[in-house]
Structure 1
Amino acid sequence: MTLSSNDQHSKQNWEKDVEKTTQRFPERKDSFQTSSEIPVERLYTPENINEDYIKEIGFPGQYPYTRGIQPTMYRSRYWTMRQYAGFGSAEETNQRFRYLLKQGQTGLSVAFDLPTQIGYDSDDAMADGEVGKVGVAIDSLKDMEQLFDRIPLDRVSTSMTINAPASILLAMYIAVGEKQGVSPEKLTGTIQNDILKEYIARGTYIYPPKPSMRLITDIFGYCQDHLPKFNTISISGYHIREAGSTAVQEVAFTIANGMAYVDAAIEAGLEVDQFAPRLAFFFNAHNQFFEEAAKFRAARRMWAKIMKEHYGAVNPKSWKLRFHTQTGGSTLTAQQPDNNIVRVTLQALAAVMGGTQSLHTNSRDEALALPTEDSARIALRTQQIIANESGVADTIDPLAGSYYVESLTDEIEKEANDYLERIKEYGGAVQAVEEGYMQREIHKAAYEAQKRIESNEEIVVGMNEYKLEEEIHADLLRVDEALEQAQIEKTNEVRSSRDQKKVDTCLADLRRAAKGTDNVMPHIVDAVKVYATVGEIANVLRDEFGEYTGM
């Protein structure tokens, strides 16, 4: 948009004032930039933004959804406050869940321990020392029943951060629902089920990419018929960002992965408008407030254009990028941990101003240990204060029209699309992962960011500036070391009390399906209902699919 001649004259006069001022008071830096190295201009004016308001910004609830996916956004209902929790045993985590629900949390989010995430039972040698440490230990349906004891699954939405064994944990959730009298079509929630980012950034994969993609499309097909209200995947930029990516890379690589899942589902014979409305996304929120808010707006617009123009989806629900946000774990410091409350507040506010559908706020002590009950409550209260006291939820997309935010939204979209073009040259996200392209780009970004911190070019309060003599942190949550043996004994009791012939039959049926082309989900559901364990089911698939050992 161009300025009038009068406005241009006013700007020139201002620039003369700036020149005089900076001679007396030099600016803090020679140049300013975002974490994605997007230059930040001294001032933004109408010259910096696109003139086509309707095409590029539009109205909330209307294509291209830059301003949000619902016409009234938070004026109708707040985002879901979904605090991520899980540690130790199913009984302990159930107590934390019920505590958080009593404190006003509106959705559950399950953290699983490392053995569960990579398909090992607690008594497997590979699980030694890791049982219940970074999440809840789930070996069999018995654990899942205890995890959701006295939690009504027809009234509570549950997100599960599980990837390689997502089909197994989803099957257990279905079985628990049925035991509560809740039919699968009434269940609501999300499974992460995003294996590509595991190869890129996180590492909790089991099988090679091709069979892993088959498991994902089997879940898409099964849920289309049986769990119509359940989100079949949460395509995650969160872990990409945690690995060190920039905000632009987070958007680009996440959307590239999303396109790979859409391609795989179409190749498996599914119609795009049948499964696309149940795709969800998961993003990170870091400290640079405006960049983060603009990132969410750009991602929403990009996905809408891709689904409508590239894939030809005709259902508006297929165009909508619905996303969960978690505040940035990698931004938290062990030094002066109370400072993390402030960081998390800024990040949560950016997510809300960017139009998130649900939100997890990290606890102040997570750089040191799993969060205590007090820390988890403060993190939840942060969301509740933003919702009820700040006024930011009273109008839709209050940052829209800001010359800076709109310019930044455009620039993030442009640079992310440049990455998508490079990924397309590799043949798509799967091939780019196999070639290590995205991994290399993330590593370079992480290295540059670390150099800026070590040189004090980037200030981290309490860590490289404004330091204190460190205090002793006594009030930290510790997982009881006796838990591992207790969990092993419980799992052995399940094995000794179940009908082993039924287990063997179900596992044999699963093996036949895995060898062939049948959808494996019905057989996994049958297996968990007779108390086959996570490890037993995963091992059948390991035998048939093989294990991925990295590049």
Structure 2
Amino acid sequence: MSQEKNLKTVYARPDLEAIGFDPIEDLGFPGEFPFTRGIQPTMYRGRLWTMRQYAGMGDAEESNRRYKFLLEHGTAGLSVAFDLPTQIGFDSDDPMALGEVGKVGVAIDSIEDMERLFDGIPLDKISTSMTINATASILLALYVAVAKRTGANVKTLTGTVQNDILKEYIARGTYIYPIRHAMRIITDMFAWANDEAPEWNTISISGYHMREAGSTAAQEVAFTLANGMTYVQAAIDAGLDVDQFAPRLSFFFNAHNNFLEEVAKFRCARRVWAHLMRDHFMSKNPRSWMLRFHTQTAGSTLTAQQPENNIVRTAIQALSAVLGGTQSLHTNGYDEALALPTEEAARIALRTQQIIAMESGVAQTIDPFAGSYYIESLTHEIELQVKAYLDRIDSLGGMLRAIERGWVQQEIQNAAYEYQRAVDSGDATVVGVNRFTRDDEPGIPIQRIDEALERKQVERLQALRVRRDKGRWQTAVDCVKERARSGENLMPAILEAVESYATVGEIAAAMREVFGEYQESVVI
């Protein structure tokens, strides 16, 4: 649940005195520890957040057209959505992929698909975010291989691969390997990118999906930061210097409906992470203390009833992210409760960000809520809850153990149940759903994926298998298996495999053969 049960009618100076609020220690200045007020001294006065619209559908050509449409209308960065088979390591012609190819994102099987996806888009001039986790190492290798073919300097490529496998076990489910093997792949990526792609963000530690599953704001921050601590410790245990990889860590949060709570949540997250990195992990580089994050408006709040209302919800949520100090932002299409967004819905979503940036005036002043009796009290209250959760996770033996036993999943399920019960009883209002409803719901145009695209994708894939150099391909896939067994860094072998026209499914299968598959703990 939100903080509503504990809210006072009005807040005043005594409320800040009661929590021992110190403007210097708790706030500081923008760009300075503990970064409550933002990670950059000038924030949006120096540079606006990156407007990065998430998109992908059907095959590579179809998605390429949408990316060019978004770029023409002012988006500043690309964000790639992959279909379910790509996410869980199955090729488009696998029986497990039947009926799912290109449905919730773009189908990518090989380096040829990746070339088509970014055809005509200068990878050395655009920042690309890829929402991919279990197969993140393969998709990053494909991106790098395509960039090399276009003559781009890999060392200057900018972007992010989500690569947050822990939240998959908690809330989303597109995992493949047992947790500890999946963690090994991630630390291999950290080490490889540190030398080969130093400007690339190799992980986006994601609270978004846990919030979509029903977590509270405090749970979202606590579980996200606990996952972040787990990745940091795993990298340190693998021999990496915290101040070499920590500045490239990034985060991904949800912007939900409770406007002021969301602003406080973002400020709290920055402050807690700064203290964790400096005081717990003893990092020395101030850039290691900064929590840089992307935000997406809340898909779970979008309603199929009266979908135009979602434009208002998205605008409020986006504004909370901006006032909370986000570094990049995706705004959802109003029709996404029904289907992938149409071009019209995508345009309105992007225009929402542009209006906030250029007409609202909020980008002119950094952290305008600083010192607010209510906002500072709420930020403190969320911080107390976050720290209590972190202490509880520590008592359970850490985040890996808490996930393996199903404790984190159960906490989120309990919160989701409480909220749904409030909606069902009418204690929580969802406009157009349990209040202010209408009987005559007019239809709206929705995006439909051409069924022929799946057949076309399968035919291309099968043709690639016929014409590739089978000797080079087999050697490369065998090398992936060998490195999986030996403990050597996997990334060079995966890169050679994709350049040898090995497919996403084949490379994932090679690692499945060595690592096995994860079996989920059942939470009752």
Aligned equivalent of 1:358: 328
Contact 1:197-1:239 within 8 A present in 2 as well: yes
Residue of structure 1 in register with 2:318 after alignment: 348
The CA deviation string for residues 443-493 of structure 1, in whole angstroms up to 9 with x for no partner, is: 000000001001110110000000011424241100011111110001111
TM-score, length basis structure 1 = 0.93
SS in 1 for 2:130: strand
SS for the counterpart of 2:80 is strand
- Give the structure 1 partner of residue 84 of structure 2: 114
* 1:329 aligned residue: 299
Equivalent position of 1:513 in the other structure: 483
AA of the residue aligned to 1:499: D
In structure 2, how many angstroms separate the alpha carbons of the residues matched to 1:137 and 1:149?
15
Structure 2: distance between partners of 1:47 and 1:107: 45
Corresponding position of 2:7: 40
In the alignment, which residue of structure 2 is the partner of 1:23?
none
Q: What's 1:439 paired with?
A: 409
2: distance between equivalents of 1:517 and 1:84?
35
Q: Secondary structure at the match of 2:277?
A: helix
**From 56, 62, 67, the counterpart of 1:92:** 62
Q: Which runs of 5+ in 1 are unaligned?
A: 1-33
1:394 paired residue number: 364
Contact residue 335 and residue 470 of structure 1 kept, 8 A: no
Structure-to-structure mapping, 1:83-482, within 5 angstroms: 83-482=53-452
Does the alignment pair 1:549 with 2:515?
no
Q: Which piece of structure 1 moves more, 336-345 or 496-505?
A: 496-505
Which string of whole-angstrom CA distances, capped at 9 and with x for unpartnered residues, describes residues 16-73 of structure 1? Answer: xxxxxxxxxxxxxxxxxx7245511111011112331110111000000000000000
**Alpha-carbon distance in structure 1 between the residues aligned to 2:74 and 2:162:** 24
Distance in 1, Cα, partners of 2:495 & 2:21: 53
- Taking a change above 3 Å as real, the CA distance of residues 292 and 474 of structure 1, as seen in their structure-2 partners, is closer
Q: How high is the sequence identity, in percent, across the aligned residues?
A: 63
Q: Which amino acid aligns with 1:316?
A: P
Alpha-carbon separation, structure 2, partners of 1:346 and 1:430: 35
Q: What CA distance in whole angstroms lies between the structure 2 residues aligned with 1:219 and 1:308? A: 24
Larger radius of gyration: 1
Q: TM-score, normalised by structure 2?
A: 0.98
Q: 2:459 aligns with which of 489, 494, 500?
A: 489
- Contact 2:23 2:371 survives alignment (8 Å): no
Q: Separation in 1 of the partners of 2:387 and 2:335?
A: 37
Query: SS state of the match for residue 380, structure 2?
Result: helix
Quote the offset at 1:496 in angstroms: 1.3
Correspondence 1:55 to 2:22: no
- Partners of 2:48 and 2:354 lie apart in 1 by 10
Q: CA separation in 2, counterparts of 1:546 and 1:135?
A: 26
Separation in 1, partners of 2:230, 2:320: 28
Q: Find the counterpart in structure 2 of residue 8 from structure 1.
A: none
The aligned residue for residue 10 of structure 1 is none
SS of the residue corresponding to residue 51 of structure 2 reads strand
User: Which shows bigger deviation, 487-496 or 337-346?
Assistant: 487-496
Cα-to-partner distance string for 1:383-438 (whole Å, 9 max, x where unaligned): 00000000000010011111100000001011010000000011111110001111
What residue identity is the alignment partner of 1:42? T
* SS of equivalent residue, structure 1 residue 393: helix
How many correspondences in the alignment? 518
- Taking the aligned partners of 2:360 and 2:517, their CA distance within structure 1 comes to 50
